[in-house]
Amino acid sequence: MRVMCTGRVDPAYVIRAFENGADGVYVGGCWPGECHYVTEGNYHALGMIKLTKRILKLIGINPERLRLEWLGASEGIRFAEVMNDVAAKVREIGPLGKSEGLDEGLLKSRLETVKNLLPWIKLVERERLRVAVGSVEEYEKFYDSEEMDKLFRELIADKIDTSLIMALLKDGPCSNAEISQKLGIETGEVARLVGISVRQGLVKLDEKQKVLLLPGVKEQARA
């Protein structure tokens, strides 16, 4: 158990916990407006948890495996109730990866992809996604808004999906359809991201076989 201000909660802790085999992650913080460190860290934690849940959903992990609850130091009974509820929910969801239909290798690859992008994700959160401290309602409104959907897609989701495609191509050439099937990304989205990657020189197209491969990989007939 790690005890600190929830304002220091980092998505890296969540990703590391799942990499180490945890089936669920719980974060408990002071009630909004009652931050013990006078930093309003609990509001920051709320934003980070909401963002991390979006990322988990994007890579195929049930976002309900991550939970944030407000608790006061004197609320022992409520703490016990919350922990029992968290444990019951995790048991209901089932083992990480298996319940989502992700084999061990694919789960590891997706978590590693997100981990590698965390410096960028935290920069984006600080510069573009941080809500001025006001109320929980303001955070809820922003993170459930169309504006947030657009920013998340443009600034984070596209980078994660492109990185997943690049990781897949390390194992060998793939067509757009194969990428879509293996990663669960819509074919149209794959085509859009691949088009950008080709123009940037990140991947190349084998015109003859109609497959994509990484630059420097020798084009060869596939089995």
Query: For residue 211, what pLDDT is reported?
Result: 72
Query: For residue 213, what pLDDT is reported?
Result: 76
What is the amino acid identity at position 1? M
Query: For residue 217, what pLDDT is reported?
Result: 58
Mean pLDDT by 10 residues, the chain (223 residues): 72 95 92 74 88 96 96 87 96 96 92 96 92 82 94 96 91 89 91 91 78 66 44
Query: For residue 112, what pLDDT is reported?
Result: 96
Query: What pTM value is reported for the model?
Result: 0.88
Query: For residue 209, what pLDDT is reported?
Result: 61
